[in-house]
Amino acid sequence: MMKRVLLILVGFLILGLEAGNHEENASGCDALNPVLGKTTVSIEHEGKDRSYRLYVPKNYKSDTPTPLIINFHGTGSNAEQQAIYSDMDSVAEKKGFIHVNPQGLELDGRPVFNAGLTMESPANKRDFSKAPRDDVDFAKTIVEDVSTKYCLNKKKVYSTGMSNGGRMSYRIGCEAADTFAAIAPVAGVLSLPPEKCQPTKAVPSIAFHGTWDLVSSYKKAGGFSTMGAIQMFSLWAKKNQCKGKPIVTFQENNVSCESYQSCAEGAEIKFCTIDRGGHCWPGRPCRLGASSTINGSEMIAEFLLQFERN
């Protein structure tokens, strides 16, 4: 009798573990005939029609939990332009992750995301009270929407983006650590007041910034920035309870990366400087300043994919 009771208890334990694992993955793991390649998806959020560009690699398997990288465009750009500019689709094919580019809503005639600038911010040039939207919740809604259609590994969801999209990634790190495992801001710093950024857990990051960036300043507040990129590196290390000093972990031509490696929950905070680099995606064409020979999108994917949300 005792043996039978033990077998029943073990059975319930196994079922419970399987249910927990299934919950961390997605209902889309049961979906039949998933669409591969590029599609545009329309959804409703906060009573508004929103959309995102979706790219699913050809090697996607519906029985294998798959990571997701959400890649935000900059002000005045759009989802398709960001996908092409970053060339992240090709990296998705190599690394086996789903790639999403959200589409921002227009404000003053230009697509943009609400990364947190307020009227009290000295660098603010946009009044989001004219067009209120919660783009952090929009990002989380995208994750849930993708998870109903594809076998998503919900522990491996990440955010990256360019300029306003980089700012958006920092806001996600501050407010959505329950959904996103790590972030990779490019040419953007935190727009929220620092005291309003309170991550619920450690959020690893890799950031890229050019020393000649006139839109998002490298050394100190300027342009659309409330702080310089160097200050942001120190701030994010502090938010992640990092100890000691950063060490150089990468050097190639005009790109140098430093990392804090003794951070809470095993997080790494990495900052890559592009000498004479402008307001650009690393390794891609640059109109304002030098570019670099690195493949920024590959570096971003390699960094992000090593982390899982706790």
Q: How far apart are CA 113 and CA 138, in angstroms?
A: 10
pLDDT of 24 reads: 64
Q: How far is CA 5 from the centre of its chain?
A: 47
The gap from C-alpha 283 to its chain's centroid, in whole angstroms, comes to 18
At residue 225 the predicted structure's pLDDT band, cuts being 50, 70 and 90, is low
DSSP letter for 196, please: G
Q: What is the pTM of this model?
A: 0.90
Token pair recorded at residue 305: 């994919």
pLDDT at 226: 73
Write down the pLDDT at residue 129.
Answer: 60
What local confidence, expressed as pLDDT, does residue 7 receive? 41
| Bridge partners, residue 28, by sequence | none
- Determine the pLDDT at residue 132: 76
C-alpha span between 148 and 67 (Å, rounded): 14
Domain layout of the chain by residue ranges: 27-304
Closest CA to 93 of 56, 64, 68: 56
DSSP bridge pairs for 206? 270
Is the pLDDT at 140 greater than 70? The verdict is yes
Over residues 86-136, the pLDDT tens digits come to 999 999 999 999 999 999 999 888 999 999 865 444 445 566 666 679 999
Specify whether the backbone of 194 is left (phi greater than 0), alpha (psi in -120 to 50) or beta.
alpha
Closest CA to 258 of 297, 230, 290, 226: 230
What pLDDT is recorded for position 250? 98
Lowest-confidence segment of 15-19, 53-57, 195-199, 274-278 by average pLDDT: 15-19
DSSP 35: P
pLDDT, tens digit, for every residue of 143-169? 999 999 999 999 999 999 999 999 999
CA distances from 73 to 80, 103, 181, 240, 272 (A): 9, 8, 20, 26, 20
DSSP letter assigned to residue 239 = H
Q: What is the mean pLDDT of the chain?
A: 89
Q: Are 246 and 182 in contact (CB under 8 A)?
A: no
Banded pLDDT at 245 (limits 50, 70, 90): very high
Written as six digits, the tokens of 181 are 């495992």
Asked if the model's pLDDT at residue 11 lies above 80, the reply is: no
- Thinking of the domain 27-304, which architecture would CATH place it in? 3-Layer(aba) Sandwich (3.40)
Is pLDDT above 60 for 195?
yes
How far apart, in whole angstroms, are the C-alpha atoms of residue 180 and residue 308? 9
**Helices and strands (DSSP H and E) totals, the chain:** 7, 12
Q: Which residues contact 96 (CB under 8 A, 6 or more apart)?
A: 57, 59, 60, 66, 67
Residues in CB range of 280: below 8 A, 6 or more apart: 187, 210, 274, 286, 287, 288, 289, 291
Given this model, what pLDDT does residue 116 score? 84
Cα gap 275→256, rounded to integer Å: 8
Please compute the mean of the pLDDT values over residues 281-298 and round it to a whole number: 87
* Structure token digits, residue 230: 């160097």
Partners of 162 in the β-ladder:
186
